[in-house]
Structure 1
Amino acid sequence: MTYQHILSVLKEQVLYVTINREQKLNALNKETLAELAHVIEYAAGNDEIRGVLLTGAGEKAFVAGADISEFSDYNAAQGEALARNGQEHVFDAIEKCPKPVVAAINGFALGGGLELAMACHIRVASENARLGLPETSLGLIPGYGGTQRLTQLVGKGRALEMIATADMISAEQAERIGLVNYVVPQAELIAKAASIFAKIKLRAPLAIAAAIKAVNAAHTFDVNGFETEIEEFGKCFNTQDFKEGTGAFLEKRKPLFIGK
């Protein structure tokens, strides 16, 4: 697939994905969402890729929201289909990706942009970042998992306040309430995200995929997270990486994992 709205570059086993609509503050339109769905599916199935770094072009916005002009005249059925399709193919796909996805939030992350960041496994924000879910000011609510993931990350009270007031919060506030993992100067943003991947790449890929599945199960309806953990723990014993990891520990050397 030839991308028109995102850039995709593989460097040192990390796929750098940049939403490239800077003049539109990287707003999510249908084509951009389709390209994101494709690139995440590609990353999930490519053994060369150990993780995905997701960011926005420029220094103003990660993603300033969805392209409102595309759905301003929708009815209820069309709105529901829009949310269902986006959640299934993009936002849920990111959350379920067996490769860690790190959001490098380089400015505004609003509406669908914050929902995109929250779907990622880890979030790093630049000091100038502003985050919020302003949908109620448009007569809507978040439709790409925002009500659920924000509540999981910051708690019911803070989530309802952010959604009901439609207020933006600073990167510093976001770190304080657990919405982002780190806040750094913008010039250091990508390097900080890359440093996280440098540590991740030292660990066993199949174990990381199992951990993602187990952690996600903690908030998955009708799934027993403890049972998922037990099952994934057991599966690790059948991997070559487990033999390598335990062997390296006993032999007092660094392990060399191959993802098998």
Structure 2
Amino acid sequence: MPSQPAVDEGWDALLGSFSNLLGEVDEAGVATLTLNRPKQLNALNSELMGELVAACQYLDRKHPSARVIIVTGSGSKAFAAGADIKEMSSVTYSEAYNKGLLDGWETLRTIRKPIIAAVNGFALGGGCELAMLADIIIAADSASFGQPEINLGVLPGMGGTQRLTRAVGKSRAMELVLTGDRLSAAEAVSLGLASRAVPAAELMETTQKLARRIAAASLPVAAKAKECVNQAYEMTLAEGVRFEKREFWSCFALADQKEGMAAFIEKRTPVFGDS
């Protein structure tokens, strides 16, 4: 891996075109994307959606050194307090249907590199759904999660009814969706929604440390492992095991498999070439 961040004029130009998103890539290949609408508690409007999706796609397919993506929110109050209600309030049914309101968020499911949500403060409505689109959630101890759309006369529209149910089970998800109640960070961890909760002051340090560990792995193998875990939500057990087995076998076509096993036998740290 490079000892300093790779210069990428395309990435710099893309960042310069954004109004609601900050981004950087460090020397370990850890990219940090920061939702930057602090006055609106990082509410997710269509412009921010487009910027975040474009940034993740670029980091996934084009950036020369990015290996892991962290998504977080600016300020200490909110990761993202939900969708931009002012933007959505006057939308008609025909407009929502014909324009595919909120459809763009599903593009994040196509990102092959691991995504970690560093959740600081509120992750409500679309903010909770965005966190659940990540592969791992690390929560500040001050974070809270919820789907309060019922109080606005709508229901979750970015996958909340589906991903929350898979994360915490039907009964708890039903209660949260029908009441709009919130989960604390500790509750989110105990229910399996978040991986861990840490003191707010340590959130980014903890998340970056985890991201660097993941970034040290072989890129193609990490992508394969991510896909296999995600397939557990889409397939039966038998189908999933067959899928995993094929991906496992395919690793033996990689030079990284030879390097990883040789390094283990020789008791040294592997140097992966991502091939």
Output the TM-score relative to the length of structure 1. 0.93
- What's the CA shift string for 1:4-42, capped at 9, x where partnerless? 100011113111100000000000011000001100101
Change (3 A) 1:80 1:151: farther
Equivalent residue letter for 1:40: C
The Cα of 1:94 is off from its aligned counterpart by 2.6
2:254 maps to: 239
2:87 maps to: 70
What SS class does the counterpart of residue 253 from structure 2 fall into? coil
Gaps of at least 5 residues in structure 1 are none
The Cα of 1:222 is off from its aligned counterpart by 9.0
1:51 maps to: 68
- 1:28 equivalent among 44, 69, 81: 44
Instruction: Provide the rounded CA distance (Å) in 2 between the counterparts of 1:237 and 1:101.
Output: 25
Aligned identity (percent) is 40
1:3 maps to: 18
In the alignment of these two chains, the number of paired residues is: 257
Instruction: Provide the rounded CA distance (Å) in 1 between the counterparts of 2:60 and 2:98.
Output: 25
2:5 maps to: none
2:126 maps to: 112
1:16 maps to: 32
1:252 maps to: 267
The Cα of 1:215 is off from its aligned counterpart by 1.1
Instruction: Provide the rounded CA distance (Å) in 2 between the counterparts of 1:163 and 1:71.
Output: 19
- What's the CA shift string for 1:119-141, capped at 9, x where partnerless? 00001111111110001111111
Instruction: Provide the rounded CA distance (Å) in 2 between the counterparts of 1:121 and 1:94.
Output: 10
Equivalent residue letter for 2:87: E
- 1:160 equivalent among 166, 174, 187: 174
Contact 1:147 1:159 in 2 (8 A): yes
1:226 maps to: 241
What SS class does the counterpart of residue 197 from structure 2 fall into? strand
2:8 maps to: none
Contact 1:6 1:17 in 2 (8 A): yes
RMSD, aligned CA: 1.7
Equivalent residue letter for 2:270: P
Equivalent residue letter for 2:218: A
